[in-house]
Structure 1
Amino acid sequence: MTNNTAVKIDALPDPYSVPLDQINLSDPRLYAENQWGAYFRRVRDEDPVHYLKDSPFGPFWSITRFEDIVAVDTNHEVFSSEPFIMIGEPDDSLPVSNFISMDPPKHDEQRAAVQPVVAPKNLAQMEGLIRERISEILDSLPIGEEIEWVSSVSKELTSQMLATIFDFPYEDRHKLIYWSDVATGAPELSGGTVDHDERITALFDMVNTFGALWQQKAQFRAAGNAPGFDLISLMEANENTRDMIHRTEEFMGNLGLLIVGGNDTTRNSISGSVLAMNQFPDEFAKLKANPELIPNMVSEIIRWQTPLAHMRRIATRDYELGGKLIKKGDKVVMWYVSGNRDERMIENPDRVIVDRARARQHLSFGLGIHRCMGNRLGEMQLRITWEEILKRFDDIRVVGEPVRVHSNFVNGYESMKVVLTPKAK
């Protein structure tokens, strides 16, 4: 079953009733039930570099405070991202490799091949297209009746933009969202609910579909045409990635990485921003009174939502952190979702404050050599979405409790019902 299937969730215990050394921050129920805050607060206060000996994902260290996460994320020599960046291990029957799970120099070479798609010049050219598309989406929504925000707006916009940066057939764009959900949703990777056989079938469909697109672009270029500026054309044109189609593990892995990266941050921040404006109506009023706060609000939402909850590393040598000895070969998990709520670094971290000072000081995009390549594109999409929302609507009222993703990696939403109130003419 895929991620949009309802999951029966057993009741979670009070975090202070669990022995400290048995607290399992990788339990996907924490995120599906939105109960992770109190668990991380206890660990940050009592054992910020926390070791769990036994979990479904093996033993691992949890790094939960802001400054400790910075120390790990900016030290790729001691904390390697190879061979994988999610807490679980890939299925042996479907090995994957991608540049976020590589160390230099291979990481640098493969990232450099696709980086130009989000260069400032390209982003400037995309702005008008993003505004046109979000305007069409918002104008198509019914007023005064319940609508499904995640599928109607958040997924729709991100699928359209993914299709653009991949030059993917527009009519098939929803496949990109499905492949993203499948890529991260395996039980052994994130505690997700995606069926093993379904995941294998879907990811090979992704590889075959993009393989055909790769061949089309190669033929187009061989006929004397100038290459495009989409992700596939950029990989074909770069000497370090032009033969990637023949390296199935890397081809599948990098496709999955780029799709997930373009999907989850934007999609779940758009949904999270609507929820935040409902939970903090005074801040929504502040935003409506001063739309110039939107860029700052965007950074604040991305911190508060933290669309990807963690990244993992492997220690390449013994290393002391927070008075604990992390041994060579140990799995080390940086919980961005916790660092972004660290009271030692961020005042009132559980609140959204649209005019917060230093709102860009957050961990959601990562740090160091693996900092999110598409962070500016994600911010731009969220900014334009809210610029267009405020032109049209006086209120977006969330109806009922959202359904959240059953995953310890993707901190997001499956469903969110809303009712729109138009802006007075």
Structure 2
Amino acid sequence: MLDTVKHLRMLDQDPFGIALDKIDVSQAELYEHDAQWGFFERLRKEDPVHYCADSEYGPFWSVTKFNDIAHVEKNHQLFSSEPTITIADLPEAIPFQSFIQMDPPKHDVHRAAVQPVVAPANLAKLEPIIRERVGKILDELPVGESFDWVERVSIELTTQMLATLFDFPFEERRKLTFWSDATTGAPDISGGDFITPEDRDVALADCGEHFVRLWHQRVSKPGNDLISMLAHSERTRNMIDSPMEYLGNIILLIIGGNDTTRNSITGGVLALNQNPAEYDKLRRDPTLIPNMVSEIIRWQTPILGMRRRAMQDTELFGKQVRRHDKVMMWYVSGNRDDEVIADPMSFKVDRENARHHLSFGFGIHRCMGNRLAEMQLRVSWEEIMKRFRMVEVVGNPVRAKSNIIRGYRSMQVQVHPW
């Protein structure tokens, strides 16, 4: 559990008044209160490769500028994803193995096995399904009263999509959301308060039981789903013999399909409310939606950052990084780097070169489902704009306490038809 007494509480500090060596951007409270921006601004300006000697997760380096992050991301031989991509070391109870925390060649084998589900031909088949489900969700929203957008729209849409990708029992689809939140929401992994480590371990055991059962069903009766692809790929068909590796890959696919898209759907509504002139632009010209989707993903940055491990002593932009040091790439900071992105703190639906952002990563670990995420957001906003002049935020969003996911627990809204 986190010891909040021992370490200096960043939330109480002036980002530009605190001693530079005392800055610790791993504290989940910062992101719960959206209070991280000043600390990252200072690090980008004064110490873009910053060493924190004393955190709840041990010492670590923070890489905070766009191009520096891309450099680390692309050099996987020097900066390894093993054994994990979270700033916290994995508890012994959950020794996950998934392709996002593997290096080549093993990474390439597992990624290739599930890549077909997000191939262009399959995305074309999924789009009308997504559109139909989005329309049904939106048509059932109450007009003239407030409701939780996260619960009624963001979670429901992404959970339905996950159930489709896994061919998971549709009536049990909310288990997928719970397992995703449980994985990233405990204090020993992300500083979160969604679940205790003990309850998380129980939830993941339940998840494992469900997906082992589904694996054996798909071995004898395959379909066009992610589990069937793993079970019948020559390179991964024995994965079931390594249950933590199988569960790790399943959890990775659940989180990738849930947390990122779900929080971007919520974040886009919030961004437009905070920038009414941009909402006016969108109402005047809905053809801006595809470009706006990329801007939402940059602005939201649903995955705050990822960790790498130095494979040898090396110099990183003037700093001496030692073998086995933790190196955190903070995407949330790189996406606000004004040396690469013009006026980065502003949300602009018509931003030029909007797809040039860090939210999907670079190199071999670039998000496999990036096109699916973009399509879900595009279709969602096309259907929203057909029905509603405005989705009005009527209460402060409740943000997730996490140093992994930049997310929302709830956000009250009202919808206003045309």
Name the TM-score class by shorter chain. over 0.9
What's 1:396 paired with? Answer: 391
Superposed, 1:181-192 pairs within 5 Å as 181-192=181-192
Instruction: Map Cα deviations across residues 81-126 of structure 1 (whole Å, 9 max, x no partner).
Output: 0010011011112211100100000000000000000000000000
User: Which residue, 404, 407, 414 being the options, matches 2:402?
Assistant: 407
Letter in 2 for 1:71: H
Q: Between 360-369 and 86-95, report the one with greater CA deviation.
A: 86-95
Letter in 2 for 1:133: R
- CA RMSD for the aligned pairs? 1.2
Q: Is the 8 A contact 1:392 1:422 kept in 2?
A: yes
- Following superposition, the deviation at residue 13 of structure 1 comes to 1.6
What's 1:278 paired with? Answer: 273
In 2, Cα distance between equivalents of 1:343 and 1:293:
23
Instruction: Map Cα deviations across residues 44-86 of structure 1 (whole Å, 9 max, x no partner).
Output: 1110000000100110000000010010001000000001001
**Equivalent residue of 1:407, what SS?**
coil
Instruction: Map Cα deviations across residues 251-278 of structure 1 (whole Å, 9 max, x no partner).
Output: 1111110000011110000000000010
What's 2:360 paired with? Answer: 365
Q: What TM-score does the superposition give when structure 2 sets the normalisation length?
A: 0.97
What's 2:203 paired with? Answer: 202
Letter in 2 for 1:210: F
User: Which residue, 274, 284, 308 being the options, matches 2:303?
Assistant: 308
Q: Between 186-195 and 328-337, report the one with greater CA deviation.
A: 186-195
Letter in 2 for 1:111: R
In 2, Cα distance between equivalents of 1:281 and 1:253:
41
What's 1:254 paired with? Answer: 249
User: Which residue, 240, 256, 263 being the options, matches 2:258?
Assistant: 263
**Equivalent residue of 2:89, what SS?**
coil
Q: Is the 8 A contact 1:57 1:188 kept in 2?
A: no
In 2, Cα distance between equivalents of 1:352 and 1:29:
24
In 2, Cα distance between equivalents of 1:219 and 1:119:
24
What's 1:295 paired with? Answer: 290
Letter in 2 for 1:170: F
Superposed, 1:225-240 pairs within 5 Å as 227-240=222-235
Q: Is the 8 A contact 1:336 1:364 kept in 2?
A: yes
What's 1:14 paired with? Answer: 14
Letter in 2 for 1:184: T
What's 1:339 paired with? Answer: 334
**Equivalent residue of 1:150, what SS?**
helix
- Following superposition, the deviation at residue 183 of structure 1 comes to 0.9
Judged with a 3 Å threshold, the aligned counterparts in structure 2 of structure 1 residues 100 and 10 are, in CA distance, closer, same or farther, namely closer
**Equivalent residue of 1:15, what SS?**
coil
**Equivalent residue of 1:141, what SS?**
coil
What's 1:144 paired with? Answer: 144
Q: What TM-score does the superposition give when structure 1 sets the normalisation length?
A: 0.95
**Equivalent residue of 2:396, what SS?**
strand
In 1, Cα distance between equivalents of 2:234 and 2:220:
18
Asked if 1:350 is matched to 2:345, the reply is yes
- Following superposition, the deviation at residue 187 of structure 1 comes to 1.3
Q: Is the 8 A contact 2:166 2:227 kept in 1?
A: yes
Letter in 1 for 2:147: I
Instruction: Map Cα deviations across residues 195-250 of structure 1 (whole Å, 9 max, x no partner).
Output: 01110100010000011111111232xxxxxx311000000111221111221110
In 1, Cα distance between equivalents of 2:296 and 2:394:
20
In 1, Cα distance between equivalents of 2:319 and 2:120:
42
What's 1:58 paired with? Answer: 58
Instruction: Map Cα deviations across residues 340-364 of structure 1 (whole Å, 9 max, x no partner).
Output: 0011111111111111100000000
Q: Is the 8 A contact 1:395 1:421 kept in 2?
A: yes
How many residues get paired? 410
Letter in 2 for 1:185: G
In 1, Cα distance between equivalents of 2:106 and 2:89:
21
Superposed, 1:109-128 pairs within 5 Å as 109-128=109-128
- Following superposition, the deviation at residue 186 of structure 1 comes to 2.2
Q: Give 5+ residue unaligned stretches, structure 1.
A: 2-8, 221-226
Q: Percent identity?
A: 57
In 2, Cα distance between equivalents of 1:163 and 1:269:
19
Q: Is the 8 A contact 2:65 2:334 kept in 1?
A: yes
Letter in 1 for 2:159: S
Letter in 2 for 1:397: E
- Following superposition, the deviation at residue 11 of structure 1 comes to 4.9
Q: Is the 8 A contact 2:10 2:24 kept in 1?
A: no
**Equivalent residue of 1:387, what SS?**
helix
In 2, Cα distance between equivalents of 1:212 and 1:249:
15
Q: Is the 8 A contact 1:162 1:259 kept in 2?
A: yes
Q: Give 5+ residue unaligned stretches, structure 2.
A: 2-8
Q: Is the 8 A contact 1:312 1:334 kept in 2?
A: yes
In 1, Cα distance between equivalents of 2:197 and 2:35:
27
Q: Is the 8 A contact 2:11 2:35 kept in 1?
A: no
**Equivalent residue of 2:394, what SS?**
strand
Superposed, 1:15-30 pairs within 5 Å as 15-30=15-30
Segments of 4+ in structure 1 off by > 2 A? 9-12
Q: Is the 8 A contact 2:118 2:372 kept in 1?
A: yes
In 1, Cα distance between equivalents of 2:408 and 2:66:
25
